[in-house]
Amino acid sequence: MMLRLDDLGLITVLNDACGVQSFYLDRLKRMDGSLSEVQFREVMVELAFLNLHLKNRPDFKVTLDLVNERQLITVTLPKLELADLEMPLRGALFLQAFKNGLPHMAVGRSPEEVEELSKAGKLTFLFDDQGNFIKDGIRSLKTPPTE
């Protein structure tokens, strides 16, 4: 889920018991500046993409005690593993998040190249070719950093 109110944003994954965070935390720590709106949307895409690739899901249970008017929510955590990443799925999520505005955001690329990179799941506005966080605008890479 993504929520944005003016300059404040919140992104959360509600069904993974922090599983996605375990795989994304290193990249998140490298973001040493404020996110642009475009970058914020990309983080949402990344978290959804990782969530869809969790091999094992946590098992949530709710126990109700009607006499004492209490409820208990418990979770059994699985072994954290990712399935093989399907980059075209990332591309589909990316295209959905950016809709028709994407060709105008990728500076220095033709609309055809932007579409091709997007569909392949290789377009990013978060990190440059050396894996450094992009603070001064939005750009794209030919290949995303491998993490």
Residue 45 binned pLDDT confidence (cut-offs 50, 70, 90):
very high
Mean pLDDT of the chain: 87
Residue 22 pLDDT:
94
At 147, is the pLDDT very low, low, confident or very high (cuts 50, 70, 90)? Answer: very low
Whether pLDDT at 139 is above 50: no
| Helix H or strand E segment including 75 | strand 70-76
Residue 69 region by backbone torsions, left for phi larger than 0, else alpha for psi between -120 and 50, else beta: left
Alpha helices for 1-147 (secondary structure H): 19-29, 37-52, 87-98, 102-105, 111-119
Would the CA dihedral through 13, 17, 18, 23 be positive or negative?
A: negative
pLDDT at 136: 67
Type of residue numbered 126: L
pTM score: 0.84
Could you tell me if 44 and 11 are in contact, meaning their C-beta atoms sit under 8 angstroms apart? yes
The predicted model gives 2-24 an average pLDDT of: 92
Task: Write out the two tokens for 110.
Answer: 């033709």
Q: What pLDDT was estimated at residue 107?
A: 63
CB neighbourhood size of 29 (10 A): 9
